[in-house]
Amino acid sequence: MATERDYYEILSIERTASGDEIKRAYRKMAMKYHPDRNPDSEEAEIKFKESAEAYEVLADEDKRRLYDQYGHAGLKGRAGHNFNQMDPNDIFSMFGDIFGDMFGGGGGRARGGPRGNRPTRGYDLETLAEISLEEVLSGCEKDIDFTRQDECDTCHGSGAKPGTDPTTCSTCGGNGQVMQSGLGGMFRMVATCPDCNGQGKVVKEHCPDCRGKGRILKDRKISVKIPAGVHDGQAVRVGAEGEPGLNGGPRGDLHVVIRVEQHSLFVRDGDDIILKMPISFTQASLGAKVDIPTLEGEDEITIGAASQHGDVIKISGKGLPNLRSGRRGNLLVVLLIEIPKKLTDKQEQLLREFAETEDHDVLPHTKGFWEKIKEHLGA
């Protein structure tokens, strides 16, 4: 094999190609030059193996980075496969996720042994947990109720009636897959066995409780620790609480997705929390000390004289903890100056006197609404 050929040239792609583009290019080249389509063609086999070597490098982020920077020299000494010595069917087995097992080894079964009997990891599950902003601050422990498919207690997951055992599937010989030919025998396609659905075994007498499925729905309740600082939409993974695997395979995991309830006073911004605090005109003008709510009770802040609407007072360390470092964010108090809707006679008199000192014109108290409109229109 001409190992010094440019890998991008082999796959006929640009150096900026994405991972999906690399995968599609390799699939196209490998299917084009597969020996089943090119019997007795040494050139096709060489190009087939070149494509596999190029794909192995360019599909791996670390290897691709080294290759882009140093070329073939950057890959020397790194672990890899000697595709020149490999059987083409073994190459397809390595990259079976790309081809969907469209090609297989000789005979009527896929290479690699009975797939239906291999241990397979169970499915992951997902559920929701709602927590308050106060619980984000401190962390909490929640009881989670969920339903999952679990092994049938009667047949222990076999699906067979107690006292009987599943038998080896006669169609696939226990392999779980059958080989089919296509395009006049130009290639072979591996398909799931229609009789055992890929399990390699057939249940003749079904379990009365699970009706041969081997699994039934079960309710489960567990306690899950939710860390302080968690964000809305993040998930807490609980290992081995998903569905059971097949043939002794491990259970999947349970992912508890967090939903943080909307707070009546505070708005979250990362690790900071925002409080919109109404204050009076006099408090903004003259300054004041006021009590404010926090997630841990009350605190006192000082409003400086001549504060403006929208000014922000930062209280360090009164926000939420960072999920990783534990360092707390800030409480940001936004000042909202409220104008009173109703004044006493004394308050109005004082404000008019104040307006005179500002040299600002204000409407006389005795003028009615329509008089004000006429003045505005110049009537």
* Residues of each annotated binding site: 152, 155, 169, 172, 193, 196, 207, 210
Residue list, annotated binding site for Zn(2+):
152, 155, 169, 172, 193, 196, 207, 210
Cβ burial 193-203 (10 Å sphere, 16+ → b, else e): beebebbbbbb
> Are the beta carbons of 275 and 331 closer than 8 angstroms?
yes
Sheet (strand 331-338) strand order:
266-269, 272-280, 331-338, 312-315
Phi, psi of 46 (to 5 degrees): -65, -45
Using the 8-state DSSP alphabet, how is residue 277 labeled? E
* Cα separation, 93 vs 105, whole angstroms: 9
Other C-beta atoms closer than 10 Å to the C-beta of 26 total 23
CA distance 52 to 54: 5
| Closest alpha carbon to 279 in 337, 366, 234 | 337
Distance of alpha carbon 326 from alpha carbon 329, whole angstroms: 9
* CB-based contact 301:290 (threshold 8 Å): yes
Q: Where are the alpha helices (DSSP H) in the chain?
A: 7-11, 19-33, 42-58, 61-70, 88-94, 96-99, 133-138, 281-286, 345-358, 369-377
**Which tokens go with 214?**
């081997």
Query: HSE of 52 in the Cβ direction (CA atoms, 13 Å)?
Result: 29
What single-letter amino acid sits at 300? E
Instruction: Name the CA radius of gyration of the chain, rounded.
Output: 36
